[in-house]
A and B are shown apart, each in its own frame.
Chain A
Amino acid sequence: MGALCLLTLLCGCTAHASSDTSSGGDAPRGQSSAAPARLGRPAASQRVEFIPERLILPGHAGAAVLPAGTVDGVLRVPENVQHVGWWDGSARAGEPFGATVIAGHIDSATEGIGFFVRLRKIKVGDTITLRADSHWLKYRVTSVRKIPKKALATDNQALKQKGPHRLVLITCTGNFHRDRGGYDSNLVVVGRPLGLAH
């Protein structure tokens, strides 16, 4: 397959080259009849990189993934607690570097329990899948941590866009302070890709 592609390419290359030179005998004469230039094209090994549209947790529990932006330093995850948000400044699935960050509600005052309550059950070794159209990439969970909210921004894994590619799922956990309207900690799940995206 690869060899065939290469052969085709080389043949195309030779054919063009022979008719490329202005002194070449193959080109029709008398008018500006230069041969077409070769078109550059992607190699077969082009990596797939995609914006996730669906997240599947163990037990086939799936949620829609919507792009989420940062406003005044706060990541605006979807209001619908059954949806989760992909930080639009983070890596797309399948990129070679950086975290693909997906955050979602554990609960909300208006909508109750959220999809990411399931992260409480996630264990190291579990498999999580990201999808979009026909693309997919599976990740294996390598760590599940509870960190103080203030430590999230400087965490070495959670939001950083350097270092090896990983999936980072974030929700809230810890003590709930009703007067402050939220929890005091974040639950951070990190997974490593199982190969390249398809």
Chain B
Amino acid sequence: MRAARWSKLALLAAGVLALAGLTVSPSYAANDTEIYVVQGLPGKDLDVAVDGESVADGVKTAKVAGPIKVKPGKRKVTFSENGTTVLENTFSIKEGSKADVVAHLPASSSGDPLVTVYKYDDVKVPNGKALLVVSHVAAVPPADIRVNDQVLFANIANGESLQLMVPVATYKVSIVPTGENKPVFFGPVSLTVKGKAINRVYAVGDPEKKTMNVAVHVLAATTTGSGKPSEVNTGTGGQAVGKGPSLEVNLAR
């Protein structure tokens, strides 16, 4: 039992490593109004249409399709499988904005699938760092996301997201119920974040049906900040020399 579980985890881990960095979008084009489609429904290959026009075919589970240029305003997205509509919803998008349009399971696996739209703007990311945005779109109750054995993303419910700036590194990630250590809904898996980028990670699937996975959408970001200094020169006068603590006593505080 235990051995079987670990081998499954190993498989999942391999899956994540393969996924990371697969969907690296070109740098953020500020003027384009674009969506990406995230396929979070297990066991389906979905065709996607916007306003009735086909934009992606056969998107597999945990895959991301895009960028798809759309007109600003109210749009309609249709997810279908073999010609049968699975989900159809409208969403609004402003000119120059971006959004991930996610087809996924609700918190309770007995409910109907739904579409959640995560809108985002350009974010500046320093060299050597990554913006990590974690979204919960899986059939699990509110959860904690443990990163390197520490709860970095706490109490996140289906349809919510949390973001943090992190150094570029490989992190051990697992998803557990809020405030608990078990049952482990997903992981631990190794996730390597990509630098100077927004790393959008979606937890998808249903642990009871063993379909938990992550979809990773990496979007190049505008960089900010300067490199690491090798010198800090902050005394050019010498007035503080030898004045010692007595100097500070006389300073107006």
Contact = CB atoms under 8 A, between A and B. Distances in A.
Contacts of A46: 162-163
A87 B115 contact: no
Given A32-B76, A47-B164, A89-B227, A40 B234 contact: no
B112 A18 contact: yes
Contacts of A80: none
Interface stretch (B5-13, B17-25, B149-157, B212-220): B149-157
Interface string A64-105: 000001110111010000000001111110011110000111
Nearest to B99: A40
B82 to A, nearest CB: 14
A172 B235 contact: yes
Given A13-B159, A34-B88, A39-B117, A87 B226 contact: yes
Interface stretch (B60-68, B181-189, B243-251): B243-251
A90 to B, nearest CB: 8
B27 interface: no
A194 interface: no
Tell me what chain A mostly uses at the interface: helix, strand, loop, or mixed.
mixed
A113 B240 contact: yes
Interface residues of B, number: 74
B159 A182 contact: no
A45 B156 contact: yes
Interface of B: 52, 76-78, 85, 87-92, 100-102, 106-107, 111-119, 126-129, 135, 142, 147, 150, 152-167, 169, 224-241, 244-245, 247-248, 251, 253
26 contacts: A17-B106, A22-B85, A32-B76, A35-B90, A37-B90, A42-B162, A77-B234, A87-B225, A87-B226, A88-B226, A90-B126, A96-B147, A96-B164, A109-B236, A113-B237, A117-B240, A121-B245, A121-B248, A149-B231, A152-B230, A152-B232, A161-B129, A172-B234, A182-B235, A183-B235, A186-B232
For the complex of A and B, list the 6 residue pairs with the smallest distance between their C-beta atoms, beginning with the closest.
Answer: A172-B235, A40-B118, A89-B225, A37-B89, A75-B229, A107-B237
